[in-house]
Amino acid sequence: AQSVSQHNHHVILSEAASLELGCNYSYGGTVNLFWYVQYPGQHLQLLLKYFSGDPLVKGIKGFEAEFIKSKFSFNLRKPSVQWSDTAEYFCAVNAGTSYDKVIFGPGTSLSVIP
Amino acid sequence: GAVVSQHPSWVICKSGTSVKIECRSLDFQATTMFWYRQFPKQSLMLMATSNEGSKATYEQGVEKDKFLINHASLTLSTLTVTSAHPEDSSFYICSATPGWGGNTEAFFGQGTRLTVV
């Protein structure tokens, strides 16, 4: 069965600090990978996605992620965080086709201190 | 992008009653939809896969008699929480993936917050 783990439960950063959130998945076949963000009181928003091709994917709001197949990882990065990035971040995967179920990681809560 | 809409956005019901939540794909057809629940400060947990014209597939540990899923058309799936209890209070979210050709991500509804009192 697929599973997704995220390295950090809660991350606290100062504004302008760099961010890297770890994500690992367990599935041996083809996967599609996603990072979602959930701002306080709001619903999910897609940050970026990887289906195939260039393993370095750029998303919205200055976020990027790198797919490293050999490490089963899809870490999220941002060079300089802002207070408005305070939110819950979820790594997610679906195996096979994009029509299959999406499995979410436990989430990482990011708090950015002004 | 595609739009998935849930109704209602929030509902409060008395313990022992049943509540129906609708999930609609507004601009595409979906033979498969997914239902998730999210407790406060937690991640989305997949509850079941809703299949148009056939029975839903439930994840391990999810009571199929308590969470009734009906996918009667290609644009509508419903989740009915039967005999709701306070522990069923949660945020319920549905998703569907449009079949526009090629890979595309799932689109999520805005969620339904259920409070059982």
- Which of B49, B93, B103 shows the shortest C-beta gap to A101? B49
A98 to B104: CB separation less than 8 angstroms, yes or no: yes
The pLDDT, as a whole number, for residue A1 is: 73
Searching chain B, which residue's CA lies closest to the CA of residue A103?
B46
Q: What's the average model confidence in pLDDT over B73-97? A: 96
B97 to A99: CB separation less than 8 angstroms, yes or no: yes
- Which of A32, A98, A104 shows the shortest C-beta gap to B43? A104
The pLDDT, as a whole number, for residue B101 is: 63
Cα separation of A99 and A110, whole Å? 29
DSSP labels, A28-54: SS-EEEEEEEE-TT---EEEEEE-SS-
Chain A environment of B111 (Cβ under 8 Å): 43
Give per-residue pLDDT as tens, A67-91: 999 999 999 999 999 999 999 999 9
Cα separation of A16 and A21, whole Å? 16
Provide the β-strand partners of residue A74.
A67
DSSP labels, B15-53: TT--EEEEEEESSS--SEEEEEEE-TTS-EEEEEEEETT
Q: In degrees rounded to 5, what are phi and psi of residue A85? A: -85, -5
Searching chain B, which residue's CA lies closest to the CA of residue A35?
B105
**Could you identify the residue written with the tokens 């870490």?**
A75
**A46 in reach of chain B (CB within 8 A):** yes
Searching chain B, which residue's CA lies closest to the CA of residue A49?
B105
**A101 in reach of chain B (CB within 8 A):** yes
Higher pLDDT, B104 or B84: B84
| Residues with pLDDT less than 50, chain A | none
Query: In this structure, are residues A2 and A70 in contact, taking their beta carbons and an 8 Å threshold?
Result: no
Cα separation of B51 and B33, whole Å? 7
The pLDDT, as a whole number, for residue B102 is: 67
